[in-house]
């Protein structure tokens, strides 16, 4: 059975560890500490759905698939952004859904949408609950209640086409579950975001997710060749060929739509042979700028490895300090992780040799495989550290963006300056690049600052300043975390008034009563 995430923390508490004393001492020296325990078992507002509507839902799905108990509703309240966690830790679960419904088929989803339209119930699709942008908080105004449409029963691998190298996956599959099913056929999807252990296939599609191996496998939207979506107006079936010129690509309209246009019930994805060889290594560069130029050179030469990520000076120093037992360290500079995966040893070695030669020529110093292996082993554990820091009153959050290579340095400086100005000179701002393209890259920032008496308000002001800095610098407000409700006002600036009109028109056509994740994404 899939492990549920803790309602006020990330992931499985059994996987978490208290803040080591040495780290706590360092944090106390730099930022100060202030024990901030979370409220346990906070009260929820009662379900507002009438007994008659609940009876209709149960007649449709079965009594055990319509849940209104506090424990289940608590686990479907909001996502896992720091603001989400701060509210939950303070005992605020006011956004809890009125009921959790668990369809098993596309037909169930269609019937649920019809019912929701008749009774004016908001429908929030739920996969893994890992949203970090307010994507699971529906606006209630004008509606009779909120349903969390939990896709946990839709977990089939429906089809594998070994000739075309595609597979059809249902949306409720968590990352590890999808990989396990594909592994039985010697395949992999190759999509490994930091949320991999809990995020779902439907969530990957609905948010245009990008994984840590995107250099080798591609973003999730690049992996999708077809999909099925249930809407209040009917079923949308998309993807009859690997490519076409039959008008605009409606698949791209569905991808990233965050449950506001319909509920994704199946995704046909490109798959690859499951790698039997995985080699991760560390490299050192004198500066973030030099390392970024090396990444750009590899991308534009068509020599990207499966994994490539570069930490700036601050992130490198913190990583090295926390991994003092790992060999191959070097003083100063920036740490790059390079990973090579595949099934053909000769091809991997040949490509690795070319990448090694280029990185050496571009100023890199090879640190060996220990640093790379340390990253690979801990790649999904960073969110647990955030919980430990929140426990001692340190405000920790991430935000990300992307831009063209020529604008990278300007954007990097602008976001850091905005965060420092809002949070104070004591603020620690870390950054890395983990998704690269021929024309540009993403920048992923981690911020740590004293939380003070009002950490939620403190972060909201900093987030607003940093996001506005992204827009003013001509960058996107999100590379892979989606829009949710948190980014809406800046998303409107990014796409402009005509873009907003287009999205609103599509929303009106597919969801005329406005029951699909109201208040999310659509400006």
Q: Are residues 58 and 119 in the same domain?
A: yes
Give me the torsion for CA of 192, 197, 201, 203, rounded to 10°: -100
Given this model, what pLDDT does residue 322 score? 58
Residue 30 inside a domain? The answer is no
Q: Are residues 286 and 254 in the same domain?
A: no
Given this model, what pLDDT does residue 321 score? 58
Q: Are residues 198 and 172 in the same domain?
A: yes
How far from 177 is each of 9, 343, 522, CA to CA, in Å?
A: 22, 22, 31
Q: Are residues 164 and 262 in the same domain?
A: yes
Number of folded domains in the chain? 4
Q: What is the pLDDT of residues 475-490, one digit of tens each?
A: 999 999 999 999 999 9
Run of H or E residues at 199: none
Q: Are residues 269 and 281 in the same domain?
A: no
Q: Are residues 146 and 226 in the same domain?
A: no
Residue 409 inside a domain? The answer is yes
447 has pLDDT over 80:
yes
Residue 408 inside a domain? The answer is yes
Decide which of 125, 150, 175 is a domain's last residue: 150
> Could you list the residue range(s) of the whole structural domain that residue 208 is in?
157-273
What CATH number is associated with residue 394? 3.30.300.330
Residue 392 inside a domain? The answer is yes
Given this model, what pLDDT does residue 2 score? 63
What CATH number is associated with residue 252? 3.30.465.10
Report the alpha-carbon distance of residue 43 to residue 362 in Å, rounded. Answer: 57
Decide which of 150, 178, 201 is a domain's last residue: 150
Q: Are residues 98 and 125 in the same domain?
A: yes
Tokens of 248: 């605009």
Q: What is the pLDDT of residues 316-367, one digit of tens each?
A: 998 765 555 454 444 579 999 999 999 999 999 999 999 999 999 999 999 9
Instruction: Work out the pLDDT band at 34, boundaries 50, 70, 90.
Output: confident
Given this model, what pLDDT does residue 233 score? 98
Q: Are residues 347 and 422 in the same domain?
A: no
How far from 348 is each of 213, 338, 369, 374, 458, CA to CA, in Å?
A: 15, 13, 15, 21, 48
Is the CA virtual torsion 139, 142, 145, 151 positive or negative?
Answer: negative
DSSP type of residue 407: G
Given this model, what pLDDT does residue 21 score? 76
User: Which of 13-17, 215-219, 234-238 shows the lowest per-residue confidence on average (mean pLDDT)?
Assistant: 13-17
Decide which of 273, 295, 320 is a domain's last residue: 273
- pTM of the full predicted structure? 0.95
What CATH number is associated with residue 315? 3.30.70.3450
Q: Are residues 124 and 99 in the same domain?
A: yes
Report the alpha-carbon distance of residue 124 to residue 203 in Å, rounded. Answer: 12
C-beta of residue 280 within 8 angstroms of C-beta of residue 376: yes
Q: What is the pLDDT of residues 60-105, one digit of tens each?
A: 999 999 999 999 999 999 999 999 999 999 999 999 999 999 999 9
Q: What is the pLDDT of residues 156-188, one digit of tens each?
A: 999 999 999 999 999 999 999 999 999 999 999
Give me the mean pLDDT over the 26-40 stretch: 81
Report the alpha-carbon distance of residue 78 to residue 94 in Å, rounded. Answer: 10
Q: Are residues 230 and 286 in the same domain?
A: no
Given this model, what pLDDT does residue 329 score? 47
If one counts every other C-beta atom within 10 angstroms of the C-beta of residue 345, the result is 10
Q: Are residues 251 and 167 in the same domain?
A: yes
Indicate the average pLDDT of the chain.
94
Percentage, residues of the chain above pLDDT 70: 97
Q: Are residues 443 and 409 in the same domain?
A: yes
């Amino acid at each position: 059975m899939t492990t549920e995430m803790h309602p006020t923390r990330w992931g499985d508490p059994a996987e978490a560890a208290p803040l080591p004393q040495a780290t706590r001492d360092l944090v106390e020296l730099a930022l100060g500490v202030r024990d901030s325990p979370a409220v346990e078992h906070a009260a929820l507002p009662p379900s507002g759905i009438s007994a008659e509507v609940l009876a209709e839902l149960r007649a449709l799905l079965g009594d055990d698939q319509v849940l209104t108990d506090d424990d289940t509703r608590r686990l479907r309240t909001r996502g896992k952004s720091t603001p989400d966690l701060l509210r939950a830790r303070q005992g605020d679960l006011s956004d809890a859904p009125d009921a959790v419904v668990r369809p098993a088929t596309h037909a169930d989803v269609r019937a649920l949408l019809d019912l929701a339209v008749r009774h004016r119930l908001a429908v929030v699709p739920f996969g893994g609950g890992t949203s970090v942008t307010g994507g699971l908080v529906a606006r209630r105004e004008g509606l009779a209640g909120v349903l969390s449409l939990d896709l946990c029963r839709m977990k089939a691998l429906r089809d594998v086409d070994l000739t075309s190298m595609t597979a059809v996956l249902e949306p409720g599959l968590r990352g590890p579950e999808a990989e396990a099913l594909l592994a039985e056929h010697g395949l992999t999807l190759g999509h490994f975001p930091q949320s991999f252990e809990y995020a779902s296939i439907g969530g990957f599609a609905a948010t245009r997710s990008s994984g840590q191996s995107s250099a080798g496998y591609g973003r999730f939207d690049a992996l999708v060749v077809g999909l099925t979506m249930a809407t209040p107006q009917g079923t949308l079936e998309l993807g009859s060929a690997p490519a076409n010129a039959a008008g605009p690509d409606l698949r791209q309209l569905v991808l990233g739509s965050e449950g506001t246009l319909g509920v994704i019930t199946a995704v046909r994805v490109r798959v690859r042979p499951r790698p039997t060889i995985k080699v991760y290594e560390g490299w050192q560069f004198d500066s973030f700028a030099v390392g970024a130029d090396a990444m750009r050179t590899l991308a534009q030469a068509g020599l990207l490895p499966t994994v490539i990520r570069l930490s700036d000076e601050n992130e490198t120093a913190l990583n090295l300090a926390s991994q003092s037992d790992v060999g191959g360290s070097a003083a100063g500079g920036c740490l790059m992780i390079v990973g090579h995966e595949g099934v053909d040893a000769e091809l991997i070695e040949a490509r690795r040799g070319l990448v090694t030669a280029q990185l050496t020529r571009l100023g890199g110093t090879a640190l060996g495989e220990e640093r790379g292996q340390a990253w690979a082993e801990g790649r999904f554990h960073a969110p647990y550290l955030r919980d430990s820091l929140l426990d001692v009153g340190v405000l920790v959050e991430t935000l990300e963006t992307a831009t063209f290579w020529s604008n990278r340095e300007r954007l990097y400086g602008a976001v850091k300056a905005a965060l420092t100005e809002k949070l104070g000179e004591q603020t620690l701002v870390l950054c890395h690049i983990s998704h690269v393209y021929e024309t540009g890259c993403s920048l992923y920032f981690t911020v740590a600052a004293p939380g003070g008496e009002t950490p939620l308000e403190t972060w909201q002001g900093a987030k607003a300043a940093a996001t506005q800095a992204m827009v003013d610098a001509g960058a996107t407000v999100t590379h892979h975390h989606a829009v949710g409700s948190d980014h809406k006002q800046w998303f409107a600036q990014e796409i402009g008034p005509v873009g907003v009109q287009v999205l609103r028109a599509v929303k009106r056509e597919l969801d005329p009563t406005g029951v699909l994740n109201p208040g999310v994404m659509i400006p």
